[in-house]
Amino acid sequence: MITLYQGPPAWGIPNISPFCVKLETWLRMAGLPYEVRAMEARGAPKRKIPYVEIDGRRMGDSQLIIEHLQRVHGDPLDAHLTPEARARGHVIRRMLDEAFYWVLVYARWVEDDAWAAYRPIFVSLLPPVIGGPLAELIRRSVTRTLRKQGTGLHSREEVYEMGKADLTALAALLGDQPFLLGAEPSSVDAAVYAFLVSILRFPADSPVKRHAEAQPNLVAYCERMRQRYYADWKPPA
């Protein structure tokens, strides 16, 4: 049994973190049994979520966990892929994990309307009484990190144009295929679904959300993935 530690679900999706959604989706796609537990901040091996416990060993980072499980359990999701298709999947995933992610962070943490929607979920993870003030301190820390990383140095319009370009590229690569690399799902679909649903289902408006909604094949893709892998999932009461 794999124990998956992650944040809470929200907005009708399995988790507030795209990386948690990515890992849980991959586990469902691979058919590996797992149980979800609430994250323990001090227990995270890399000081972030998601992380897992397997045979008493804790591991962090969604992609490193997936690659470990592929080595241990085999890789049925990607076994059919050509080297070129594997390379395409790698590039798509890296675009999402390392570039589009920061647009998502900007859209949630910098924008006041988005922060108003995100803050109550985030505060629920923090200690009572001091959670509110602490959340504001963390928000300032996140905006500093955005500037150090580089995304926060751009104007609002520039940030969203970068995110929209990523979504346009995804829509073009998907085309009329059921999945990103063809007729059958592969591991890259776990990442693509995670980031798309994190934008589409987030309750606050943004230019990048509107752009995602304007791509019919991306919207249909998200619903296809939901029906295939999350038909039995219901938000906690």
pLDDT tens for 152-197 read 999 999 999 999 999 999 999 999 999 999 999 999 999 999 999 9
- For residue 31 the two structure tokens come to 């058919």
Mean confidence (pLDDT) of the chain: 95
Q: Which amino acid is at 180?
A: L
The pLDDT of residue 53 is: 95
pTM of the model: 0.95
Summarize pLDDT for 106-157 with one digit per residue, the tens.
999 999 999 999 999 999 888 888 999 999 999 999 999 999 999 999 999 9
On the question of pLDDT at 207 being above 80, the answer is yes
Rounded Cα gap, residues 51 and 66, in angstroms? 11
Q: Comparing C-alpha atoms, which of 174, 206, 215, 210 is closest to residue 192?
A: 174
Q: What is the mean pLDDT of residues 39-53?
A: 88
